[in-house]
Amino acid sequence: MIDSNQKFNPVVKDRLFYDQFKYCISFHLDEINCLRELDHDSIDEMVQRRQAWRQIAQQRWVNGKQSYKSNILGRRCKEITASTVSDLHALAEILLTASNKFKLVVSVDQGYVYTNDLCLIDQLDAMPQLTHKNYTQAQIDRPRNTIQLKHSQHKYRSYFRLIKLTADEKTQLVKFLKNHQNSVRLSPALTQWLPISFNRTQDYFFVDYDTTLWLTMLALVHPGLIRKTMQIIQAK
């Protein structure tokens, strides 16, 4: 049985994971993104599609392009073994028969299960097929929609959406932000983005500022750019 006081690393937040889950276990499992649909038949169908694609890819580069082949195939074209398929179904079965709510998030070969059910965490913890396990626990340390900073001259922080801008849209946005750099704080990543030719904004870009009027002006330059605004409060 997992000891939540020792096993879980705290993640300080203004709310639970996905606003409902206290615990998260993350882990590595080959081909886990075959579990985007948590259904045994869907898993087999996805595996078959990948196997077929990888066979085509291997054949395509077999003649005279061995060095290029070794570079492009790599992980995405490695063999999907019967053991890997069995591991996927074993994990799916545990999740499908779970008695309490959870959320599964998958990315490449990395999985995350969010839940309030320590018994489910125990079941996953006991699976040797899952490697590089990590355990986190949401720890609420501030009011909702706030961010704690030790030192800040501003009252609000707004995060950008992930948006692809036209060249003209970026030019207008950059001009606006540069004109206000003395009154707002741009995140380091946003500052680095301003002079480069890449036009896509990132969801970790943020701006600190003092008045909602500034946000209104930004919306006139590019509507819908902001995805989240948080009040800045003094850290204790």
Query: What's the confidence (pLDDT) of residue 78?
Result: 76
Indicate if the pLDDT at residue 210 is higher than 50.
yes
pLDDT at 62 over 60: no
The string of pLDDT tens digits covering residues 196-207 is: 999 999 999 999
Please tell me the predicted confidence (pLDDT) of residue 75. Answer: 54
Distances (CA, A) of 17 to 22, 89, 149: 6, 26, 21
Helix pair angle (82-96, 118-125), 10° resolution: 170
pTM of the complete model: 0.78
Residue type, 149: L
pLDDT tens digit string along 3-42? 655 589 999 999 999 999 999 999 999 999 999 999 999 9
pLDDT per position as a tens digit, 118-156: 999 999 999 999 999 999 999 999 999 999 998 889 999
What domains can be seen in the chain, in order of their start residue? 4-140 (no CATH), 146-234 (3.30.70)
Cβ atoms within 10 Å of 7's Cβ, excluding its own: 18
